[in-house]
Amino acid sequence: MTAVTDTGSSGVAPSVAVPHRSGAARRVLRPGLLLASAYLLLVVLAAIHPDLFAAHPNATDPVNALQGPSGHHVFGTDQLGRDTFARVVHGARTSVAVGLGATALAFGVGAVWGLLASLGGRVLDELLMRIADIFLAMPGTLMALLVVAVLGPSGRNIAIAIAVSLSPGFARVTRVQTLVVKEAGYVRAATSLGVRRRSVIMRHVVPNVLPPLFVLATMNIGSCMIVGSSLSFLGLGPQPPSPEWGSMLSQAREYLQADWSLAVFPGIAITLTVICIGVVGREIQVRFEGRRP
The minimum distance between CB 231 and another protein, in angstroms, equals 11
Run of H or E including 158: helix 155-181
Amino acid letter, residue 79: Q
Neighbours of 176 (CB within 10 A): 15
The minimum distance between CB 245 and another protein, in angstroms, equals 10
Give whichever of 44 and 119 is closer to another protein, judged by the CB atom.
Answer: 119
Give whichever of 46 and 276 is closer to another protein, judged by the CB atom.
Answer: 276
For residue 77, what are the β-bridge partners? 83
Give whichever of 71 and 235 is closer to another protein, judged by the CB atom.
Answer: 235
Give whichever of 155 and 222 is closer to another protein, judged by the CB atom.
Answer: 222
The minimum distance between CB 41 and another protein, in angstroms, equals 19
Distances (CA, A) of 214 to 38, 169, 191, 239: 21, 13, 26, 31
**CA separation for the pair 65, 77 (Å, rounded):** 6
**CA separation for the pair 122, 70 (Å, rounded):** 63
**CA separation for the pair 213, 31 (Å, rounded):** 26
The minimum distance between CB 287 and another protein, in angstroms, equals 10
Cβ-contact 164, 182 below 8 angstroms: no
11: exposed, middle or buried (C-beta count within 10 Å: 0-12, 13-18, 19+)? Answer: exposed
Run of H or E including 223: helix 206-233
Give whichever of 48 and 184 is closer to another protein, judged by the CB atom.
Answer: 184
**CA separation for the pair 105, 116 (Å, rounded):** 16
Amino acid letter, residue 225: M
Give whichever of 160 and 270 is closer to another protein, judged by the CB atom.
Answer: 270
165: exposed, middle or buried (C-beta count within 10 Å: 0-12, 13-18, 19+)? Answer: buried
The minimum distance between CB 48 and another protein, in angstroms, equals 20
The minimum distance between CB 90 and another protein, in angstroms, equals 14
The minimum distance between CB 143 and another protein, in angstroms, equals 10
